[in-house]
Structure 1
Amino acid sequence: MTSLATIGDAKDSILKIYESFNEMLERVTTREKHLLSQVEELNKKETHLRHAIQREKTRGEQLRKILALTDIIFNIGSEQEIYNAAVNILHKLYPNAVIRLLCVSNRRTKMEVKAACGPTNINAERCCITPTECLAVKTGKSLVNPSRSQGIFCHRLTSYAEVRSHICIPLFSEGNIFGCLSLFAEQENSFFDAYKVEIINLFANLIGISIANTRLVNMAQKESFTDHLTGLPNRRYAFNVLQQELERAKRYGGVFSVALIDIDKFKVVNDTYGHDEGDRVLVLLADVARRCFRKSDVTARFGGEEFLIIMPETIVEASLQVINRFRATFNEATLSGMLKASNITVSAGIAQYPADGQDLATLLKTADSRLYKAKESGRNRAVWSNEQ
């Protein structure tokens, strides 16, 4: 009996141990599952973090390229160079997209492609439309189309089956729309998350600001080179052109002529009819000069009633013919009844590079001395040689 009781107690002990072991195993298994779950969650967070880091790196790279664009475009004096730089940097950000920058033509009759790049067989010129057809330009609002079924798809692109997504952003300069920035791709949702749209909008704003800045600088420069009464180039601009013409002629062995023109008895006109009438005479002379001289010639107001004509690749004999034709046309214009004063004449002194001077100072001094000779010889004539 004692032996059987001992065996029973042993079995009970073993059973308790077994039960305790199972309980312990279950706790370990539960703990293991919990740890595995935590590891899985950590892996997910790690993956999410890696993606977030990569996304931020990509965004950082995009922002660096935007900063690079800012440095470039604010140091560019040409609108076309700004367009090219903007499109090229955008292409680096979105290599799978077709990018076009379009501007409204001067007469506002059509949209002109100023810069374009991207992998496509689409003819950019075929996509040009009038400002009234372009919804972005017409409404002043961005058009974002992640797919053909979302938003108002550009009707000029609907015939191209390969174009699946499109974005078009209006370009503003000083509050006025002057064009649009258009991107499209063969894939849906190619660049249409909020961040990408924000980047493209930022680019559009930068382009608009830089174009406004460039236009203001160019306008200021033009004004600094322009005589405000006649609208002709001024003395400062004339000297710049003379220097360029001199360097060109020296480099290629060419010739050019200059003529100094002065209105005869201009003081009499001012004293008799007043300075307003004198101003009208100057404006008339400028208008006649625009009609008489070639586009390649430069007519500048050199000071007071004196004007300088620069005639590239023209020998002095040919210049004499042109100046005499101008003198006759101007005199005839003063007889038309447009002015209170009438029968006004001009005198001129003409010089040629290199025969009459191999530097600007000598050339202009020669022309000036011949102008003086024309005045001393009775006015209303052109002197072109020292033998006259």
Structure 2
Amino acid sequence: MTVVSCPIGDPVRLVCRHSDVTAVFSDPRFSRRLHYPGAPRFTSARDVSSDPESILNMDPPQHTRIRRFLQQALSARNVRSWRGHIQRTADRLLDSMASGGRSADLVEAFAEPLPNLVMCALAGAQEEDCARWQEWSNMTVSLTRYTPAEVREGLAEFESHVTDLVRSNAATGRGELISSLREAVIEGDSLDEHRIVRSVRGLIFAAYETTSSAIAHGAALLLAHPEQLAALRAHPELIGPAVEEVLRYWPPFAHGVPRRATQDIHLPAGCIPAGEAVIGPIAAANRDERVFTDPDTFDIGRRPNPHLSFGQGAHYCVGAALARSELEVALTLLVTRFPDLALRCSVNDLRWHEGFLVRRLESLPVSW
């Protein structure tokens, strides 16, 4: 175990083994409430990792209450019912991409708009809102791309926009996701408008940032490993394991977020004293040779695959089923509709965005 510095210099203890990171994610004695003076932060502006109203930064019982409503809205049954819409949206985007010639930037043409358009429909928004959603979501995970003033102004606009969507839903019923949250009653309890707004805003951000990144990662990795791509085309039933391997190999939220020990906690790597913060990078845990055979090899047949890209414990990603569904549809359609799809550059020449919490490609130039 060592002490490292966050981007703005705040110290935090670092653990990298899969067992340590799993313990940090799972043990309720590690708190996500880091709202005290001197708490480690990634940026001086408020981002997704420091917003006190984000469910990501709550502990039980507040976290448990809100999560129950989100789990109901994003249930496996609901996600299954949305799969047809995901496929129609993906087909429409790929139709447009194919009509434009024999090459494209797969990030711009497909990976970024797909999750946004799906969430637009589920929230009852207009498709032209997608561009603004993308900009606001970028602000949510910005480290250096925007000034603190720009972030404050942009996120206030984001909240006002989502408030309008929630109030419109109450009048028209448009937007299945918002209806599910607004109408849900669990043991006599329901969510007020403010909490619905914050929940929807968080889901819009998560749908765009992490899922769009993972779609681009999956396409790049399959194209860079032709033997794996050939195996998937020959055995379409491998799409589930392929998605899990993409998430393991290039996790969108690679570094995780800090947690504070509420008491002395002993991990395999050592003791985290009470009051100190620790961070467990997901990317490191996902390459732990104690857990994964040949961890640096991309293998879509890998089983078991206990990656931590959706987290673990109470904060396990509530939208994991939706993300998996979108990834399965997106990658399946890509490899079946474009049999000659190829990278137009070496995978080592791909450029990554800088200044964001989420790891994502700037572009993915392809031809067919």
Q: TM-score, normalised to structure 2's length? A: 0.22
Ranked by relative contact order (alpha carbons within 8 Å, sequence separation 6 or more), the top structure is 2
Q: TM-score, normalised to structure 1's length? A: 0.21
